[in-house]
Amino acid sequence: MTESITESIAEPLLKLHQQRLIYGQRQLIVLSGQSEWIERQLNEITSALNGDWITLSPHLAGATLPSKATVLLGREFLHGIFDAQSGCYAESMAILVGTLKAGSVLILCIPEWDAWPLQPDSDSLRWNEAHGMIATPHFVAHLQQSLCNDPDVLIWRENQPYILPTLTPAVPWCAPQGQATPQQQQILSTLLAAERGTWGIIAARGRGKSALAGMLIEQWPGSCWCCAPAKITTSVMNQFTHKAPRFWSVDSLLAYCLAGGEIEADWLIIDEAAAIPGPQLKQLTAYFPRCLLITTVEGYEGTGRGFLLKLCASLTDFQALTLTAPIRWAPNDPLERWLNKALLLDEKQPDCRTIDVPDQIQSITQRQFIDSPPLLEGFYGLLTSAHYRTSPLDLRRLLDAQNMFFMVSKRQQQIIGALWAVDEGNLSSMLSWQIWAGLRRPRGNLVAQSLAAHSYFPLASQLRSRRVSRIAVDILYRRQGIGLALLNQLAKQSACQQLDYLSVSFGFTPELYHFWRRAGYRLVRLGSHKEASSGCFVAMMILPLSASARQCFQRAEYMLQRDVYWRKDRQQLGLITGNDQIVNEQSEYEQSEYKQSEYDQRLIDEDWQELAGFAYTHRSLAASYFAICRFLATTNGELPILRLYCEQHLSLPVICQQLKIAGQKQGLTQARAELAAALEQQQPQRMNYWRELITTFYR
């Protein structure tokens, strides 16, 4: 049915809504045009259809910002608006879709159709590593394909007629009226009979996970406590129980448990568990006899699959439970089907194994992903199934971010290995030294900047490098050397392109470390604090390709060995002098003067550089920590703040309180001044050189 461009959409849309409601389905409407025209249509449609009209927009009045979309998790609404006129926050759109009930209409507002691919996208500021907004033609082309190829989507472009979708007759649908579905009842019976253990209800949005938790609270004869990133996410859960379970924030409950508080609950129920750092979840589950973790694995927040791959695998008594039938809308819902296609949310299922066929490794461009949808689905699907951080934001980066490099390993046209890398470095000497001095932190260049900002080598950000961001191998083909073959081919191509080195950054585990060692990479940096998201130290490893890079990173490896001596946690890491399986392995310079580097704590050029950096620039205390430790061991000077920090291992806030210093900023200023005074007394000529050099950083 084609409507004239002047005829009101209200009446035909109301009829369509009533039909969708009967079938338990939801409708996507796309409004494409100038903002004034879109606003007129929004006013007409929202006036005709009663509902919540929850709105995500950076501009529309009364809307929630797309960046705050997580406040909607665990809630339900009738009708919604997603404003993508200035930028498309893909994961926020997915969250909004998951909150809409059967019969809902979602209005997607986009720029004028033909101009959209060339318009700068504000969301690119989050994920593109270069400076400024960029247009995202490949992602837009992908979305436009998904919209045009779906007959259930109503697209209305300004100054053009719209076509109402033709509904396929379906069985009338009734939402569960508070009673458990057969799937829910089966899981509920299991949980009610549980004596001990940890369970996880893992399912897509709208499958009744929170409702099932509420039923458990209602029917359990004892006490249940609830925990979530935000209390509002438990609103659906509370609709299914007359009881009032005690709610805790994550930090409050963990502090209570660590302080030895009495555990009065039989169950701890954690809603939106995938949004909570894994180490905190693992700690909490140890305090309760029974735990129920509720989460999705669709990756809206980039942590869903990490919940499965990391946390669940680490719990000996974990049991996964799955809900597949939707209860917030009918099966085969048009809106859910479109979203899964547009954002590639359906998990890739392993194909049948092929054997005795040689692998083909080839480079891929972003344009090829759009020209070949199966290639995009295979590549992104492999990353999603194998990597715990893959989310819709990564789909945006993959398609349009600058300086991306991709490789695939194929067997009979089936993608069995995927590699994603990012070009870094090639920064000017001045900018590199400003990064080292703590004066600049431009976007991007993760490893190159980190080695300049936190290690001894501004040169690292001046060299041309390529960082491996993701690498994944199909589960059916692992432990066949496919990942190593991809890395070997990457090294060959990068060397031909005259890059200086390859790099990788990851949460340190022995398994990952030894994989990268087999690929020839050397450990040059190990973070001093564990990441909240992974519970691991950040490790950075390097594969030098040029002579200048080899010389630089031989020295970096040597400096890391020396620094290990001063780590408070070195025994925990297994970094024990003379018996070290991580840092002190056979290396190119094993027989050199640096063989006993961990014992050699003399002050050398890199140490004086670090000491001057802390004393005269904004170099951080953490970056200069090891050099300061070596200096304190060679001097009798008082340096009270630095001795308390490095020798007594007191935190800066505690030191400031103990020495009656007005705040950490003032404490840091005094620490720099006391080090500068000691250096100028002992090494006046050396410090004059550094002061003169540092003045050039501020030009």
Query: Torsion angle of alpha carbons 413, 415, 416, 419, nearest 10°?
Result: 130
Which residue is it, tokens 């998951």? 98
Q: Which amino acid is at 585?
A: E
Gap between the terminal Cα atoms of the chain:
67
Whole-Å CA distances, 506 to 242, 323, 463, 531, 532: 46, 33, 21, 10, 13
Task: State the alpha helices, DSSP H only, in 504-579.
Answer: 510-518, 547-564, 570-573
3-state secondary structure of 647: coil
For residue 643, give the nearest of 670, 665, 616, 607 by alpha carbon: 670
Containing H/E element for 93? Answer: helix 90-99
Residues contacting 224, CB < 8 A, separation 6+: 216, 217, 243, 245, 265, 266, 267, 268, 269
Question: Is 473 among the annotated ligand-binding positions?
Answer: yes
**Does residue 45 have a known ligand-binding role?**
no
Distance separating alpha carbons of residues 389 and 375, to the nearest angstrom: 21
- 8-state DSSP, 405: E
Residue 184 annotated in ligand binding = yes
- Residue 471 annotated as binding site: yes
Strand pairing class (404-411; 360-364): antiparallel
List the structure tokens of 482. Answer: 């496919």
Residue 218 has what DSSP assignment? Answer: H
- 286 closest CA partner among 306, 258, 321: 258
Residues sharing a CB contact under 8 Å with residue 494, sequence separation 6 or more, in sequence order: 466, 502, 545
Give residues with Cβ within 8 angstroms of 321, minimum separation 6.
187, 190, 199, 200, 201, 202
E strands present in 51-153: 54-56, 80-83, 105-110, 120-121, 134-135
Task: Tell me the C-alpha distance between 477 and 481, whole Å.
Answer: 9
511 is in an annotated binding site: yes
What does each C-alpha distance from 687 to 354, 611, 682, 692 come to in angstroms?
Answer: 65, 9, 9, 9
Annotated binding-site positions for acetyl-CoA:
471-473, 511, 518
Residue ranges of the binding site: 184, 328, 471-473, 511, 518
- Residue positions forming the annotated binding site for ATP: 184, 328
